[in-house]
Chain A
Amino acid sequence: MKMKKRSFLAGTAMALGLAATGAWAQDDKVKVGFVYVGPINDGGWTQHHHESALKMVETIGADKVDMVYQENVAEGPDSERAMTQMALEGADLIFTTSFGYMDPTINVAAKFPNVKFEHATGYKTAPNVSAYSARFYEGRAVMGTIAGRMTKSNIIGYIASVPIPEVVRGINSSYIHAKKVNPDVQFKVIWLYTWMDPAKEADAARTLIEQGADVIFQHTDSTAPLAAARDAGNVIGFGQAGDMIEYAPSPRVSSIIDNWEPYYTSRVKAVMDGTWESHNVWEGINTGMVGIGEITSAVPAEVKAEAEALQASIESGEYHPFTGPLKKQDGSDWLAEGETADDGTLAGMNFYVEGIDAELPN
């Protein structure tokens, strides 16, 4: 086994030789690569990364940026190859836009020290690897407020995707803020173990509606839950990843929009200026990474005002969606009065807050 380790190191060294020829074979245009997990027209996660990337090119100028992308890249060794390929072909900066690309990104980055990498929604960094993510839970707080005010049955359905901290944070944040304005709310959560599957999403939405839910949250990317809500009538929901404005004014009463463009533009510019440095950032409503879609006329004016006030206070930094007193689901203390959650705990959140009557899959 010792032999193997040595040969692996030798392999890395060889790749470094390749890197030297690859990364510098470029003209004065900055070459930026994007690796996507889904097709660029999935209507959700990947599409918004791609649209943001295209806007970034528009903002900086197509004469200065050369953008390449690869869609439908499976997480694991295939993504490692896709990144290596971009690095070999002279990319200066590569955005890898799915959590499952984390270890592959770190692996490839080690072989190409002159190429910069940006990995979305992970936690590992290196001198040439940054991590970036959005505080979607801030948006969920605003949606939670609307949901708590709008529900008549006091049952709120939640279509959850994959049990990772981001999704758990979203459930907690929605619940805390719905409960704040309506102490009688109950959450029903269905886990789908997928980020996008219109058929399953529609089934889940119908099941939740049958169980009495009249507000549906979704952390999955298709519009199927909104379609199911419309068919049922008197059920509302929220756009996810995209605005999903085609379902406005109802069932879609607002939305959480992924907007990566400002970040992409600033990072590409940083590479052009030579000021790029590795960091681990988490941006929210304040930088525009988390956008809140227009709150429609289906929402009473005073509820809309209340939601917008919350949005403004989060944006200004005056209010943190996870502010104590808060207890964990098991009744143990988490945050004291006035205390706010630190990013470390939030990043790895794997518990529900008190009051959610569901079990986290484990």
Chain B
Amino acid sequence: MLTLEKRPQPSKALSYITPVLAVIVTMIAGGLLFAALGKDPVVAIRTIFWEPLFGEFASYYRPQLLVKGGPLILIALGLSLGFRAGIWNIGAEGQYIIGAICGAGVALAFYPLDAWYIFPLMVIAGALGGWAWAMIPAILKVKFGTNEILVSLMLVYVAEQLLASMALGLMKNPEGYGFPGSRNLQQYPAAFNGELIAGTGMHWGVAAAFIAAIFSYILLNRHILGFQIRLTGEAPRAAKFSGVKPARLVLICMGVAGALAGMAGMFEVAGPSGQITLSFNVGYGFTAIIVAFLGRLHPVGIILAGLLMALTYIGGDVAQSRLQLPAAAIQMVQGMLLFFLLAVDVLTNYRIKMTKREVA
């Protein structure tokens, strides 16, 4: 019979292969699901995973991959630092919202002034906003030993209330006929985070995501702080003996994650979204958690995972409107991705062994 035997060391090769395996298993299971719904599974899977990249309108969809993937990657990179050290910031969604509010706040305060320094100020404000929001669970954890998972998660709901209050009050567009929502920053050139090169989908937020990936890679591989983060995650006791200060690490990891999430929110509100509205946040902060793990908490992996996740969103939308697949089926496929990744992860840490049934 088959039994699982723990590997002395997690398999390095398999840790690269399992994400690919998870995608393949997801495609198969997703195909079965679509077949059960009466759709051609091959067409459905091809529509989701192939059409946006190489289909008829790929020239529109490919840039959209960056637009959708950019914030996911930026947030996931920040989260991955903490996750490596066993610091669980689940509230990136809230930090993303606060970053957007702060960034938009700066823009709206200067409106309609046209000056070069407005956009950089917005970036700083967005990062600071996200950082400050993340500092709440971080400081509470360091000072009072509270659980950062709970506190950061609960602060998402507080941030949503703040967002609503901004959309309905302080930041409401005075020319909006009483409707909720701020001015549209897309119509305010000094604050607009538009495409850097037309038709590429590349805006400052996407650029920031790639820059952050490079820094994150250097930090983890070449810097003493990166070493401490990895050490704390892998061997907390050893980390303590080697002089790592856990409190400092909590503050740094939460702070970086918050700042990056805040920046992602700011780039989004100044660009693709354009407005502070009641429904501004669409779950990037939560999806980024999946992206971080799907990318193996590794900067390059996170970029690939972010793009893959974006692909399932965009391809999922194409499949929805072209094949009239229900939205819930698409969401199930996205959920399966993480589910199967966790499932096949068993192979990284365990090996399958044939054993003979023992006779009692």
Which A residues have a C-beta under 8 Å from some C-beta of B? 1-2, 4-5, 7-8, 10-11, 14-15, 18, 22, 33, 39, 68-78, 80-82, 84-86, 88-89, 99-100, 103, 107, 122-123, 162-165, 168, 193, 347-350, 361-362
Contacts and interface: CB of A to CB of B under 8 A. Distances in A.
B275 interface: yes
B355 interface: no
Interface in B42-72: 57, 59-60, 64, 67-68
Nearest to A71: B327
A-B residue pairs, 5 tightest by C-beta:
A350-B178, A348-B177, A77-B272, A72-B327, A10-B198
Contacts of A33: 321
B324 A78 contact: no
B320 A71 contact: yes
Interface of B: 57, 59-60, 64, 67-68, 114, 116, 119, 164, 168-169, 177-181, 184, 186, 189-190, 192, 194-199, 268, 272-275, 277-280, 282, 313-314, 317-318, 320-322, 324, 326-328
B67 A89 contact: no
Given A162-B180, A348-B177, A14 B327 contact: no
11 contacts: A4-B194, A7-B195, A8-B195, A11-B195, A69-B324, A74-B279, A78-B317, A81-B314, A123-B179, A165-B178, A165-B179
A8 B116 CA distance: 17
B178 A164 contact: yes
B320 A165 contact: no
Given A71-B320, A85-B317, A88-B57, A76 B179 contact: no
A74 B179 CA distance: 18
B168 A362 contact: yes
A75 B199 contact: no
B57 A18 contact: yes
B194 A5 contact: yes
A78 B199 contact: no
Given A10-B198, A68-B321, A81-B314, A1 B279 contact: no
A193 B278 contact: yes
Contact of B199 (A11, A103, A165): A11
B184 A103 contact: yes
B192 A88 contact: no
A4 B198 CA distance: 9
Given A7-B196, A349-B178, A85 B318 contact: yes
A1 B190 CA distance: 6
Given A71-B327, A164-B178, A8 B280 contact: no
User: Which of B169, B197, B320 gathers most chain A CB within 10 Å?
Assistant: B320
Contacts of A74: 279, 282
A162 B278 contact: yes
Contacts of A69: 321, 324
Contacts of A347: 177
Contacts of B68: 77
User: Which of A22, A75, A80 gathers most chain B CB within 10 Å?
Assistant: A75
A22 B177 CA distance: 35
Given A11-B195, A14-B199, A89 B280 contact: no
A75 B277 contact: yes
Contact of B189 (A1, A72, A81): A1
A245 B11 CA distance: 61
B168 A163 contact: yes
Contacts of A107: 186
A188 B191 CA distance: 42
Nearest to B180: A164
Contact of A361 (B60, B168, B327): B168
A78 B180 CA distance: 19
B280 A76 contact: yes
A68 B322 contact: yes
A4 B192 CA distance: 8
Given A4-B189, A70-B320, A100-B277, 14 more contacts: A1-B119, A7-B196, A33-B321, A75-B277, A76-B280, A77-B272, A77-B273, A80-B272, A81-B317, A82-B317, A100-B278, A103-B274, A123-B179, A165-B177
A2 B189 contact: yes
Nearest to B118: A1
B275 A103 contact: yes
B326 to A, nearest CB: 7
A218 B124 CA distance: 43
Nearest to A13: B198
Contacts of B178: 164-165, 168, 348-350
Contacts of B195: 4, 7-8, 11
B356 to A, nearest CB: 52
Contacts of A165: 177-179
Contacts of A76: 272-273, 275, 277, 279-280, 282
Contacts of B192: 1, 4-5, 8
A39 B196 contact: no
A66 to B, nearest CB: 11
B224 to A, nearest CB: 39
B273 A8 contact: no
User: Which of B184, B194, B275, B280 gathers most chain A CB within 10 Å?
Assistant: B194
Contacts of A350: 178
User: Which of B168, B184, B324 gathers most chain A CB within 10 Å?
Assistant: B168
Contacts of A85: 57, 60, 317-318, 321
Contacts of B282: 74, 76, 78
A14 B199 CA distance: 7
B277 A77 contact: no
A39 B282 CA distance: 16
B321 A89 contact: yes
Contacts of B60: 15, 18, 84-85, 88
